[in-house]
Amino acid sequence: MNTEAIQHVVAPDVDAHNATDWALEVNNLYVSYGKLKVLEGINMSVAKGERQCIIGPNGAGKTTFFNTIAGVVQPTSGAIRLGGQDVSRLMPRQRAHIGVARTFQRTQLFPQLTVMENLLLAIAALETRRFNVFRGAHSYEQSRSHVESHLTHFDLGMAKDRLVGELGYGEQRQIEILMAMIQNPSILLLDEPTAGLAAADGGIVTELLDECSVETTIIMIEHDMDIVFKFASRLSVLSAGAIIADGTVDEVRANATVQNIYLGTQG
């Protein structure tokens, strides 16, 4: 990659924020496997409540970046802070307890369990006591009530006793996102949530995300540019393991380098 051709648009005004205003701070992040550099010097600050999208070609390092934030991949060097706390060496479960939730490119559900059981598992994952779906319902009355209210709110109440494996792909995507949302995360990482969905189902997913608390920071990897332009308040472009542009949607769309590398003639 010709680094001389990189044109950065205006980054967030760090001086305009206190340290506690940032939901996520990534400083000089590198991830390497031997001589292969997957991420090279990533710097990113995402404000609390921000709707941030990350775009870039396949193989740009987007999923590795998410895995590093979530703790699945340990950085070679650099620092990650969540809400001002350095979490660079914390395990995924520890970061989940701090408030990180995520979805994946492919759904990570339990197809042999019901929708209700999947959502109860999502809540139980943040609890210290052992969870057993075969225990009496009264043991989890408060959690069940919480799940039912969410399912009803999102018009999924009729599906609560259905096996997840019997649902359509679009419904499974909704359930997976709801599993993340129901944990009331401070940061929600979404890895291509509309991948493989018809346009109508993609619209349902974005409507679901619109219901997220304004205090929840959402960072989304997405290839559908129509969804990106409608959803994002800020946009970062990743190419060959480096951020080549970051700014508002309009700023990034107007960036000539981004248009050449990723957006083509879209302007």
pLDDT 10s digits, 124-181 = 877 654 545 555 545 567 788 888 888 888 888 889 999 999 999 888 999 999 999 9
Q: Rounded to an integer, what distance in angstroms lies between the CA atom of residue 116 and that of residue 159?
A: 8
Given the DSSP bridges, would you call strands 77-82 and 242-247 parallel, antiparallel or unpaired? unpaired
| pLDDT for the residue numbered 267 | 37
CATH number 3.40.50.300 given to 1-92+222-267: yes
| pLDDT at residue 203 greater than cutoff 80 | yes
Vertex 122: Cα angle to 75 and 132 (nearest 5):
120
207 Cα distance to chain centroid: 16
At residue 229, φ and ψ (nearest 5 deg) are -65, -30
32 or 127, which is more confident: 32
pLDDT 10s digits, 205-219 = 888 888 888 899 999
- Domain extent listing, the chain: 1-92+222-267
Q: Rounded to an integer, what distance in angstroms lies between the CA atom of residue 34 and that of residue 220?
A: 28
pTM beyond 0.85: the answer is no
pLDDT 10s digits, 86-116 = 999 999 999 998 999 998 777 788 999 999 9
| pLDDT for the residue numbered 265 | 46
> Would you say 146 and 183 are in contact if contact means Cβ atoms under 8 Å apart?
no
| pLDDT at residue 45 greater than cutoff 80 | yes
Query: Which percentage of the chain shows pLDDT scores above 70?
Result: 85
Burial class (CB in 10 A: 0-12, 13-18, 19+), 155: exposed
For residue 251, CA distances in Å to 100, 102, 212, 258, 263 come to 28, 27, 25, 10, 13
